[in-house]
Amino acid sequence: MYSEIKSCLVRLLLFAAILLPTASFGQHITIIYDKNNQYQSRFLKLLSTQLAPQQNLTLTTLSTDTLSIPHLKKAPIDLIVNLDNKTTEALISSNVETTVFHALTTLSRTKNFVSCLPNCQNKHPNHYFFVLDQPPSRQLKLIQLINPNYQKIGVLATPQSKDLITKIKRIASFNKLTINDYVSNTADVRYRIDDVSKSSDIILATADTGIYNTASLSQILLTSYRYKTPIIGFSKGFIKAGALAGSVSNVDQLAQHLSEQILQFKTANDFLLNNIIYPKYFNVLSNRNVAKSLNLHFPNDVVLKAQLMADEAD
């Protein structure tokens, strides 16, 4: 009996520990992050800063090393924001009922353990993925703005993420573009890039680190350049390394978007239509040295961004 009382008291204390610092009548949001990860820590800081002025919002941060899913499930939390990829799988498989916003993840990575993506409204209706990937429509539009004559677009995908190419193909088809998709993996990509470069006018790099990583990047960029096939990159570093251009969302913009969605959050059902939420805010970055070397001339980054935003507003 003593042990039962003790167990009950511990649980009560845990609930109190979660509730006490945040005693308020507003929404309770718990943010899960890995305190050893600088990227996540920085993002958390930005997000917290953006949400701080909201008085009806109570923020709790939870480090992954102290995370307990069972206790999390029982806690009276309105919204969980998960910044840590390793925790995503645990949260999904635990059938937590609270709405969860998963951020700082990519489609390809999440697809590894959420196989229903991109359509998970039935299976995981309370899970939303704020991916780092740029929306395919934006990237394809960017390609057309860079060179309207680029018709054949090469895409490399891993076997796990090749389903995600379907949306790209649909949008491409609507714009009379052809997607040359090749399935590859980290070991094979060094050889597949040859085929892609030869058969395509331009390569669209998806945010799949199974394909694009520090081990494969040199080979990909050097080989595509050998065939004068530029690459649309998905991050500032990638573009600086040698991709031609890309739409890129920085940490500030990602935090801004996520905070807006958090503030708009009421219930999952009448809130977001898709499990996948692409970045809303972005910049266009280009590598003009690569552009010049390939004799490519297109508007400056600011003009390109304005054109993309105008297109999306339509």
Partner 1 sequence: MNPVKNSPLNKYHPLSCFFIFFFCQTLLAKEFEDLTFFDADIPVVLSATRLAQPQTEAPASITIIDRAMIKLSGAKAIPELFRLVPGMHVGHFRGNKPVVSYQGLSSEYPQGVQVLIDGRSVYSPLFGGVDWSNIPLVLEDIERIEIIRGANGSSFGSNAFQAVINITTSHAVQTDGLQVKSTLGERGYQRTLFRGGFSFGDLDIRLTGSHLDDNGYANNDDDSRQDLLTGRVDYQITSQDNLQLNFGVVNTLKETHTPGTLLDPFDPPRHIDESNHSLHARWEHSTMDNQLFITQASYTRHLSKDKFSSFYDVGNELLGNTVSHLDYTGHYDRYDIEFEHQRHLNEQVRLSWGLGLRNDRVYLPGQLPSEKKFNHSLQRLFSNVEWHPTDKLIINAGALWEHSQLSGESLSPRLALNYLLTPTQSLRASALHAVRSPVIVEDKMLADIPLESITTPGLVLTQPFLRSQSGLDPETVDSIEFGYHGLFIDNALTLDIKLFRNEYDKLIDTTSQNTPASLTLFGAPLVNVNLGLELHTLNNLYYTNINGYEIEINYRPDKNNMIHIGYAYNHTNVGHVSNNSLKNLLFSVPTDVLNILASHTFENKIWSSVAFYYTGSMEYLESGNPQGPMRRLDFNAGKTVNLSPHQELELSFHLQLALDKNTDFLREFSLDNRAFFEISYAYN
Contacting positions for partner 1 (CB under 8 A): 34, 37, 39, 85-86, 104, 106, 109, 132, 147, 149, 188, 190-191, 198-199, 207, 209, 212-215, 217-219, 221-223, 225-227, 234-235, 237-238, 240-242, 251, 287, 289-290, 292-297
Neighbours of 116 (CB within 10 A): 13
104 or 284: whose CB is closer to partner 1?
A: 104
* Chain mean position to CA 4: 44
CA 176, CA 69: separation in Å to the nearest integer? 47
Whether the CB-CB separation of 25 and 76 falls below 8 Å is answered with no
Nearest to 88 by CA among 71, 107, 75: 107
* Chain mean position to CA 59: 22
212 or 265: whose CB is closer to partner 1?
A: 212
Minimum distance of partner 1 from residue 184's CB (angstroms): 10
What are the phi and psi torsion angles at 224 (to 5°)? -65, -35
Minimum distance of partner 1 from residue 203's CB (angstroms): 13
Structure-derived torsion over alpha carbons of residues 210, 96, 56, 278, reported in degrees to the nearest 10: 30
Handedness of CA 174, 177, 180, 186 (dihedral sign): negative
Minimum distance of partner 1 from residue 256's CB (angstroms): 16
Minimum distance of partner 1 from residue 72's CB (angstroms): 21
Minimum distance of partner 1 from residue 290's CB (angstroms): 6
104 or 117: whose CB is closer to partner 1?
A: 104
Place of tokens 């949400």: 51
Minimum distance of partner 1 from residue 146's CB (angstroms): 12
241 or 272: whose CB is closer to partner 1?
A: 241
36 or 115: whose CB is closer to partner 1?
A: 36
57 or 81: whose CB is closer to partner 1?
A: 81
Nearest to 280 by CA among 255, 244, 303: 255
Whether the CB-CB separation of 225 and 289 falls below 8 Å is answered with no
Q: Which residues contact residue 76 at a Cβ distance below 8 angstroms, ignoring those fewer than 6 apart?
A: 15, 19, 28
99: DSSP letter: E
Minimum distance of partner 1 from residue 35's CB (angstroms): 13
19 or 145: whose CB is closer to partner 1?
A: 145
* Burial of 65 (C-beta count, 10 Å sphere; 0-12/13-18/19+): exposed
